Amino acid sequence: MTGHTKSPASTRKSPRRSMEPPATTPPPTARAARRTDTALQPATPLEVLVSRALDQELEWFFAYAEAALHRDNVGILPSYAAVKVLATEPTDEACRGRAHELARAVSGCLHTILPRHASVLRSAYTPRRWPRAVERAFDVLAPVVVRLAFADDPWPERSAHVGLEEAAAIRLSAALVDPARVRVAHRRAQAQRLLWRAGFGPAPGQAEALAGQPLEQVVFGLTRPAGQATLIGPEPVNEEGKPLEPASAWGDDHCWWLDRMVRSDQQLVERMTFILHDWFATSNNQVDSQALMLEQNELLRSTALGSFDELFLAVTTNPAMLLFLNGTSNNKWDPNENYAREMMELFSLGADRGAYTEEDVRELARALTGWRCDWSEALGNHNFRFDPGYHDAGLKTVFGQTGKWNYEDAVRLCVSHPLHASFFIAKLWGYFIPSPPSEATLASLQGLYTSSGYSIRAVVEAILQHPDFYEGPELLTPPVVYNAGLLRSISRPIDTTAWAWLSANAGQQLFYPPNVSGWDFTRWLDTSTARARWEIASYVTAKTYPNPWPAKGEAAYSATEDPAAALSSALAYWANPALSAESHQCIAAFAQSCLQQPLAQWEQSPYRAMRQNALRMLIATSPDLQVS
């Protein structure tokens, strides 16, 4: 399992753009995979598959497709539909010619732009071995096939002068590089991934409501909320039923924010606030003021989808950050380099990229001088302000540019640096997708970022619509997100402050990142933190678990529930999360075998209640719920 990394830039090479279609002869591995019963199992290139359909061998193709569909390989549906459309007029020579060209173009696209899928497509076409990679390839290619079939071409002048292969390659490349062109309907599993990565997991019925809607519509619903957030459900309270005191009581700040994660109807805004808390990591261990930390938290929330340069400037002068990285100790007589170094290394440019020198650090520190505050026993640190008398007004040379720079110039110089955009894209991408972007995607998103005026929203929208978001590897879920997601799935409000220490045991307490680099999102699970997640799940279920030994007047659990019904009930309890086939099989086997038959009469209900509780815990702590 992988997670967010802090790599400043991608090192992957962009795919080869040759427009020559692949040879129809399968590679040696595919030839070796062939079997003697060739009815549904030849290594068949896509253009041959289409050709057979056009040559009236529809029964062969549809029998193959239906066999695959019966095995829940829904990824074949787009190609199944596309071939059926193209085969409706087989006597039309123009249609036949266009279909053959189209088939070669699509196969060529797979070969040149998605080489990892091409090798799979050219291996044995057996329903039993139909891989997920093919499903994903067809999901991406389906809009290309259908649009070209109906001559829906946004570049008619260009396509008129190039072959269909290049036109298809342009279209597919645009779909991969420009996410706004991807219009794949959301399936339930995709919706769940989106809600876990762009929020804090689905509320009951939420993934089902989004499934099937256009991707852009779903994403814009997250990235373009109207007005202030609405917090749905009961207000947070502590164990005594009293309101939280986030500005003063230990752990109440954590639970106050966890409550927003659980109840807010602006899930992406809250998730971006969470991301920015790691990006501009600030710990109350140094700030020593929960009130100032909450003030910074609101700043991050209010600017989460705005312009990065405006956010950066606001964070630079934020009281919590000024205290955390010694901004109030930085003056013209004794410059402090702490914030100057981190604003380049961690916030805007990245380390070991040749973006800045030690002299740049010293000069930038001079530009940042001038901030101070007062302190009293009653108020602590207060009255944060810029004092020109404390500022070094002399000339400074930063990144080869000389001027009487101040803190505003310091932010501008960093954001306008040639290496800033690539750092920003790679870092933000890593919070949503664990594998680095391709060079083409990185370049495209950098262009989007700079041309939009450093818009965070524009880049987030592009990332959330990118195929890599849905087709790439799983992303390890942070402890706080895991905690919030479990609470959301059963609609449980914040009614205890135990979540603060439980989450700390799992490796993450809000407002207390381990250092200025934030949390390491690749190292959430070990033997200790895995146990802590079990404890979180146990606490989440504590108030709603079936009681094996009900008190007088309390309903007894079913004495007749069979294993299948028990598993179905446990899954429904967690709002039907997506489980892998392996996890589902293991948990189903436990449900089938955990009760030793025959049971005595007095064991029928209690033992089934205990089985239900065990199933709920197995689901909540399964590998599938630790990732999205």
Asked whether residue 122 falls in the same domain as residue 260, the answer is no
Q: Is the peptide bond between 434 and the residue preceding it cis, with omega within 30 degrees of 0? A: no
Would you place residue 142 in the very low, low, confident or very high pLDDT band (cuts 50, 70, 90)? very low
pLDDT of residue 94: 52
Residues 169 and 207 in one domain: no
**pLDDT digit string, tens, across residues 353-372:** 999 999 999 999 999 999 99
Beta strands in 477-584 (DSSP E): none
Note the pLDDT of residue 522.
82
Distances (CA, A) of 117 to 111, 533, 548: 8, 36, 51
| 195 and 337 housed in the same domain | yes
- What's residue 93's pLDDT? 53
End position of a domain, from candidates 471, 492, 513: 471
Kindly state whether residue 525 falls inside one of the protein's structural domains: no
Whether residues 423 and 282 fall in one domain? yes
Same domain, 95 and 227: no
Q: What is the pLDDT of residues 277-290, one digit of tens each?
A: 999 999 999 999 99
Q: Give the pTM.
A: 0.73
Which of 412, 439, 471 lies at the terminal end of a domain, its last residue? Answer: 471
Compute the distance between CA of residue 343 and CA of residue 405 in angstroms, rounded to an integer.
15
H/E run at residue 381: strand 380-386
Within a domain: 20: no
Predicted confidence band at 91 (pLDDT cuts at 50, 70, 90)?
A: very low
Is pLDDT at 183 greater than 70 in this prediction? no
* Whether residue 351 is found in the same domain as residue 451: yes
Of 52-56, 90-94, 96-100, 232-236, where does mean pLDDT reach its minimum?
52-56
Confidence tier at 333 by pLDDT (50, 70, 90): very high
Q: In the predicted model, is pLDDT for residue 198 greater than 60?
A: yes
Average pLDDT over residues 32-58: 36
CA pair distance 610, 541, nearest whole angstrom: 13
pLDDT beyond 60 at 225: yes
How does residue 526 score in pLDDT terms, banded at 50, 70 and 90? confident
Across 129-148, average pLDDT: 39
Tokens at 275, concatenated:
């991301």
Residue 84 or 215, more confident: 215
CA angle 236, 237, 243 (to 5 degrees): 100
602, HSE (Cβ side, Cα atoms, 13 Å): 1
Statement to judge: residues 139 and 207 lie in one domain? no
Q: What pLDDT was estimated at residue 86?
A: 42
Residues 347 and 301 in one domain: yes
What's residue 523's pLDDT? 85
Q: How confident is the model at residue 80 (pLDDT cuts 50, 70, 90)?
A: very low
- Residue 382 shares a structural domain with residue 284: yes
Average pLDDT on 553-576 reads 94
> Is 392 inside a domain boundary?
yes
Q: What percent of the chain has pLDDT over 90?
A: 64
In a domain, 481, yes or no: no
Residue 286 placed within a domain? yes
The pLDDT-based confidence of 550 (bands split at 50, 70, 90) is: very high
Supply the pLDDT for residue 188.
Answer: 81
Q: Worst-scoring range by mean pLDDT, 40-44, 56-60, 428-432, 442-446?
A: 40-44
- 315 pLDDT more than 70: yes
**pLDDT confidence bin for 581, thresholds 50/70/90:** confident
Residues 172 and 246 in one domain: no
User: Is residue 536 included in any domain, yes or no?
Assistant: no
Same-domain check for residues 267 and 206: yes
pLDDT number for residue 366: 98
**8 Å CB contact between 312 and 348:** yes
Domain count, the chain: 3
Residue 516 placed within a domain: no
Task: Tell me the pLDDT tens digit for each residue of 240-284.
Answer: 999 999 999 999 999 999 999 999 999 999 999 999 999 999 999
Residue bearing the bigger pLDDT, 47 or 193: 193
User: Among the three residues 113, 145, 177, which one is the final residue of a domain in this structure?
Assistant: 177
Residues 239 and 165 in one domain: no
Residue 597 binned pLDDT confidence (cut-offs 50, 70, 90)? confident
pLDDT of amino acid 454: 95
Domain of 572, in residue numbers: 545-628
Residue 313 lies in a domain: yes
Cβ burial, residue 457 (10 Å; 0-12/13-18/19+): middle
User: Residue 182: pLDDT above 60?
Assistant: no
Mean pLDDT on 119-148: 37
